Amino acid sequence: MKWNVVTIACCVLLLAINFSLLRQNRRLKAQLSAPPPALEAQAGKQVPDLEGYDVAGRPLSVRYGADSRKVLVLVFSPTCKFCAQNWPHWKELVDGLDQGAVRPVAVDVTSTASPAFLSEHHLDRIPVFLQLPPQSIVSYRMQITPQTILVDGNGKVEKVWSGVLTDSSLGEIKQLAEDKDVSSRQIPSQVF
């Protein structure tokens, strides 16, 4: 009888340890699936104006403060399989954005996108940076793709979404991008 109680107690203890390890395993998997915070621009960080060149080699820039609209930066690589999963989400975002409140732009971190690629992914409607100075890539922390970065009109990062966008992150981006005060203002026609 005494051994039965000891055996049952050991089984209960092992079961409790297994449940604890399962919970810990789930937490660790969630932490590993998210990129380390050091690889993303932090919310509130002031970033420099975006300056670079488009697919034709023409200068391209986004100047913060010259236009009060927010900027939605889509960071991609033509060879990134996760970016390929994001294209439908990004198209939905760009098509649904209030252009009076948000300026969408894209950045190819590899500088290899062709005009055909840009057209295929509906990027021929927005400014696409193919060449950025290295200091911009470092400031915006564009080392991983895909990234979706929302920057306010003054050049401060509001939020970064790394990886494939989910329905909840799409909703969050749309909500954060809406700004009724900005959308009612006059927008300079020559500023992206």
| Helices 81-96 + 167-177 axis angle, to 10 | 40
- Residue pLDDT, tens place only, 116-157: 999 999 998 899 999 898 888 889 999 889 999 999 999 999
**DSSP3 helix / strand / coil % (the chain, rounded to 5):** 45, 20, 35
Would you call 141 helix, strand, or coil by DSSP?
coil
Is the preceding omega at residue 133 within 30 degrees of 0, hence cis?
no
Instruction: Say what the pLDDT of residue 31 is.
Output: 66
**113: nearest Cα among 53, 43, 68, 28:** 53
| Phi, psi (rounded to 5 degrees) for 161 | -120, 115
This prediction's pTM:
0.74
Residue 153 C-beta-side C-alpha neighbours within 13 Å: 17
Tens of pLDDT along 149-192?
999 999 999 999 999 999 999 999 999 987 544 333 444 433 44
- At residue 36 the predicted structure's pLDDT band, cuts being 50, 70 and 90, is low
- Does residue 104 carry a pLDDT above 50? yes
CA-CA distance, 78 to 112, in Å (whole number)?
Answer: 7
Q: Which of 139, 161, 134 is nearest to 149 (CA)?
A: 161
Please, are residues 149 and 75 in contact by the beta-carbon 8 Å criterion?
Answer: yes
Structure tokens at 49: 């104006």
DSSP string, 33-70: HSPPGGGSPPTT-B-PPEEEE-TTS-EEEE-BTTB-SE
